[in-house]
Structure 1
Amino acid sequence: MANFVKIFDTTLRDGTQGEGISLSVEDKMKIARKLDSLGVHYIEGGWPGSNNKDIEFFTRVKELGLKHAKVTAFGSTRRKDTLPENDINLNRILEVGVPVATIFGKSWDFHVHQAIQTTLEENLSMIYDSVHYLKNKGLEIIYDAEHFFDGYKNNADYALQTIKKAEEAGADWIVLCDTNGGSLPHEISEIVSVVKRSVSIPVGIHAHNDCELGVANSLAAVMAGATQVQGTINGFGERCGNANLCSIIPNLQLKLNYSCISEEQLQSLSNVARYVSEIANMHLPVNQAFVGAAAFAHKGGIHVSAILRNPSTYEHIKPELVGNKQRVLVSELAGQSNLVFKAQELGLDFDHNNEQSRKLIEQIKEMEHQGYQFEGADASLELLIRDAYGKQEELFTLESFKIIVAKNAGQPVVTEAIVKLNVNGESVYNAAEGNGPVNALDNALRKCLLQYYPVLQDMHLSDYKVRVLDEKDKTAAKVRVLIESTDFQNTWSTVGVSANIIEASGDALIDSLRYALIGKTRSAVQAEEQKERIGLVNH
């Protein structure tokens, strides 16, 4: 039986310290619900002693009825020369009514003298008193030993005294923190091994990513005996971020044979990663391990030819195990194997010797020559292939659109789009304002289509990029517009190219809407296929 590792998620506390991340209470509620469905064991909701927003979250999170996760509140040890019962931060933890308290204290003698400016003896008393006080109130106590690895390397004897004092006071967990993110995996492994021999309660790891080693250090700690891992979804966090749970969990479970969450929950990992990025308004890197859109993407013709025979030739795991999918990128540099793969993926019989296929290959090459880039817009590519083979139902067509931009002195710019579509043989006409011409056009298109296709209300644009293709032409140059869209379940990209940025944007927008509509049917089919593939893997 695999060894069990508890997952402690601190996206809602440590993750929010990342630059550009600000979560409302409603945002935190949505993410907490998603984390619970993923099967994490602890959700650190915030620091009730620091702000009213976190206090409101702890009040409202009880409404969710979480099934898997325990909610924990964060706080520091008591202030120096203060009784714990008189400490505001400790009492705030009690007031919010959580079952678990996560208390941090100083492990590094340098910090004791410089940061909190007290004696080593008083710091030990602060740790003992705080843990003992909360433990006597019936809470599970996780003691975060801040700067433990730096403290150990500077003064090993004192660092060990601090965690033994927490154990003596009744802590349930000792979590060793690489707070500055500067330790190396071999150091983590050696020090965790020493700690495991020094205390009798379970040990955890809290790593930061300042040396790009947050995941590696977390794995090293587990292999040395740690049984709790703290981290954040997508590695959000201060400076260079926290250890990324989206990499830690599958590495532990699929590579090292540790048990963290169920197989079914692991299959939701990519969805959780994208969902949290959307709520946090942060772009998910396409090359992020396991969950990124490019994590299982193949472009080189030789690679694609090989994966057509056996995906294991260029994939270290089956992407479905983490809820991701295999992608093949098509460009003028790719071989015919790439198009064969894409056609097979769509259930089409691609034969590069027939006239239809040759025309498609030439069309793609010509469009790429004009500035299209299908390797970053596989949704537009799929529509192109479907159209070429007559497999795409024409759900709507654009008859015309007009953009009006008006600016009066002293007033903000007003943008309005007027759109005329043909939907199921009916002419539909609508107008909408927006924050700029692209947003106005998007709003007008939706107003026309939502009455026929209400599923479109679930999708929205998540990224918009414009690239000038030939700078020599200056303002008359062609532009390429790439649009990324999402419905929280899937993410797709579309492309448009024109000398007119509005036309390029309109082409990419319409492709995105068309793809969203065919995607609903396709997703249902793929879900069934994925269940079958996972079943084969398990057997």
Structure 2
Amino acid sequence: MKQNIEIFDSTLRDGAQGSGISFSLDDKIKITLELDELGVDYIEAGNPGSNQKDRDYFERINTMKLKHAKLVAFGSTRRKHSKAAEDGNVASLLSAGTQAISIFGKSWDYHVTNVLHTTLEENLAMIADTISYLTKEGKEVIFDAEHFFDGYKNNEGYAMESLKAAYDAGAKALVLCDTNGGAFPDEVAAITAKVKSLFDVTIGIHCHNDGGMAVANSILSVEAGATQVQGTFLGIGERCGNANLSTIIPNLQLKRGYSCIPEETMEQLTTSARYIAEVSNLTLDRSMPYVGHNAFAHKGGMHIDGVIKAKGSFEHIDPEAVGNDRSFIMSEVSGKNTIISSIQRVEPSLTKDSPETREILEKLKKLEHEGFQFEGAEASFELIIRKHLGLYKPFFQLDYFKIIEEEKQGENECSASALIKVMVNGQEEMTAAEGNGPVNAIDKAIRKVLGMFYANLKDFHLTDFKVRVLDGANTAAKVRVLIESTDGEDYWSTIGVSTNIIEASVLALVDSIEYKLIKDMEVEEASKS
């Protein structure tokens, strides 16, 4: 292994500034524990001087013992023309009780004069006074040189003076921030190397993704001498987001030989990414490198054939190295290998030449002609295989449903009701539920009644719902509904097609629940054997 690279995660602070992100106190605790379990070095968890939630967070998290990570409180330098020892925000950083504190200060003269409206000398004094005071209080101080790359390109001398002020005051790390996200990799590499040659201290890199190069910039900075990488775990953050640590970590560790997280936790990377996405109420980008559902998904027949014969032929790493799975996508271009791969997951004894394989292939073609598309709906296709092979036993039967829609009167009022009748093991049950729209209402009703029989459905819920009109813009057109579901650990997708959007939704929803119940049953049976 090459040298250790400190991973500094700012999901809970910088990531929280992303559009649509709003962490509850419990969310922040859950994500902290997951990041600690993964083995990141620092967790920048919030700014106690800015809001009560972050103050409550630090009070609560300090009662827990983390295994690996150091917690970091984040804040600015003292106010101009004052003393750090008398600054309220600086005091709040100390009250957070963290071992490390991240202080950001201006390194671009343009910001000093036009945003802070102070002198260049006073800004340097603000940096030095704040860091010196916190260091004397026993804190490990990390200095974020805000807008460093823009500042360096406009006034190299002053940008370097800002770093020297922090260094002389005792900063443990100097972090070079591409705050506007507009730097290029060659610039970042050259400037990082220059800084590294002048300061005998940890050099960090903090990139934003406005130019689409945050990951590349971070990696080039490491190659030039940076030994701390800051980012957010899913690349979330203000504007276009931050450097994505779930991409940077495996790139550095698996491809470049650096040590970023413990070797034994690398296989948790995908699970952690999907858990953090779930807690953050985000739909994980299916094409996200390493951890996305499509990261190792193959559709083209030639690609599939190649991967089956030689795994590395169309994959840059083994998906198991990061805890992900290889998948073959159903489509008209995927060929027999995709079909047999799916069939053998259900019945390993069948081959490409088995009559059952040919029958299932014909059924697939017929269903695709009717509007079904199993690309991205592998769970529904698995159920079709099970039914054709006689390996399917329904857990329930939806005998009847009725939807009543009403005009929504208030912002928080439901707009639809669903009445359903379900048969489970010969027992008939009826129930009703209200929801925001007919699909939401029937989803609630089905899960309400099935919860009486299957306790494992309590964590089951939908994460995505897509509708596409198939054959023309008219009221009698067929629609295809694709549903993505999760139980907090796994994700799967199902499909329904009908001229009735409610019926199509119900078909996909029933498949989703059946798939969850089948998988849980198989896990239970495997544990007994």
Measured against the shorter chain, the TM-score band is: over 0.9
Map of 2:26 onto structure 1: 26
Q: Secondary structure at the match of 1:286?
A: coil
Structure 1: distance between partners of 2:81 and 2:503: 68
Distance in 2 between residues matched to 1:237 and 1:220, nearest whole Å = 21
The range that moved more, 395-404 or 371-380, is 395-404
CA pair 495-52 structure 1, distance change in 2 beyond 3 A: same
Deviates more, 1:158-167 or 1:351-360: 351-360
1:344 aligns to what? 344
Could you tell me which residue of structure 1 aligns to residue 208 of structure 2?
208
How far apart, CA to CA, are the structure 1 residues paired with 2:489 and 2:155? 49
Partner of 2:446: 445
Contact map agreement 1:232 1:245 (CA 8 A) in 2 = yes
Q: How far, CA to CA, are the matches of 1:525 and 1:451 in structure 2?
A: 21
Tell me, yes or no, if the aligned pair for 1:202 and 1:226 is still in contact at 8 Å.
yes
Name the residue aligned to 2:468: 467
By how many angstroms is 1:277 displaced? 1.7
Alignment of 1:396-415 (within 5 A): 396-407=396-407, 412=413, 414-415=415-416
Kindly report which structure 2 residues correspond to 1:23-102, keeping only aligned pairs within 5 A, or say none.
23-102=23-102
The corresponding residue for 1:537 is: none
The corresponding residue for 2:237 is 237
2:459 is matched with 458
Q: Cα distance, 1:521 vs. partner? A: 4.8
> How far 1:522 moved relative to its partner?
5.2
What SS does the corresponding residue of 2:62 show, helix, strand or coil?
helix
CA–CA separation in structure 2 for the residues paired with 1:234 and 1:331: 29
Give the secondary-structure state (helix, strand or coil) at the position aligned to 1:489: coil
Structure-1 residue corresponding to 2:185:
185
Q: Which residue of 2 aligns with 1:277?
A: 277
Contact 1:149 1:177 in 2 (8 A): yes
The aligned residue for residue 531 of structure 1 is none
Q: Secondary structure at the match of 1:48?
A: coil
Give the deviation of 1:409 after TM superposition. Answer: 7.3
Give the superposition deviation at 1:355: 3.4
Whether contact under 8 Å (1:378, 1:494) holds in the other structure is: yes
State the partner residue of 2:15.
15
Deviation digits for residues 279-301 of structure 1 (CA, Å, limit 9, x no counterpart): 22222111111111111001111
Q: How far off its partner does 1:504 sit?
A: 0.4
- Partner of residue 6, structure 1: 6
How many angstroms apart in 1 are the aligned matches of 2:502 and 2:407? 18
- After TM superposition, list the pairs within 5 Å mapping 1:126-165 onto structure 2: 126-165=126-165
**Contact 1:332 1:364 (8 Å CA) reproduced:** no
Distance 2:525 2:322 in 1: 18
Question: In 1, distance between residues paired with 2:192 and 2:144?
Answer: 14
Of 56-65 and 456-465, more deviation after overlay is shown by 56-65
Report the CA distance between 1:157 and its aligned residue: 1.7
Which blocks of at least 5 consecutive residues in structure 1 are unaligned?
Answer: 528-539
Shift, 1:118, TM fit: 1.4
Question: Residues 304 and 341 of structure 1 are in contact (CA less than 8 Å); yes or no, is this contact kept in structure 2?
Answer: no
Question: Please, what TM-score do these two structures have when normalized by structure 2?
Answer: 0.96
Letter of the 2:78 counterpart: R
Partner of 2:423: 422
- Structure 1 residue 54, shift from structure 2 partner: 1.2
Alignment partners' CA distance in 2, 1:449 and 1:165? 64
CA–CA distance in structure 1, aligned partners of residues 525 and 164 of structure 2: 55
Q: 1:337 to 1:232 in 2, by over 3 A?
A: same
For residues 311 and 7 of structure 1, the distance between their equivalents in structure 2, rounded to whole angstroms, comes to 30
Q: Which runs of 5+ in 2 are unaligned?
A: none
Residue 388 to residue 245, structure 1, CA distance change in 2 (3 Å):
same
CA contact 2:62–2:97 (8 Å) conserved in 1? no
Does the aligned pair in 2 maintain the 1:127–1:166 contact within 8 Å? Answer: yes
Corresponding letter in the other structure for 1:141: V
Specify the code of the residue in structure 1 equivalent to 2:253.
Answer: Q
The RMSD of aligned alpha carbons is 1.8
Name the SS for the 1:122 alignment partner.
helix
Counterparts of residues 105-116 of structure 1 (less than 5 Å): 105-116=105-116
> Take 1:189 and 1:409, find their aligned partners in 2: how far apart are those partners?
58
Matching residue of 1:379:
379
> Using the alignment, how far apart are the partners of 1:97 and 1:386 within structure 2?
56
Question: What count of residue pairs does the alignment treat as equivalent?
Answer: 526
Aligned-pair CA distance for 1:264: 2.9
Whether contact under 8 Å (2:343, 2:357) holds in the other structure is no
C-alpha displacement at 1:414, in angstroms? 4.3
Deviates more, 1:393-402 or 1:45-54: 393-402
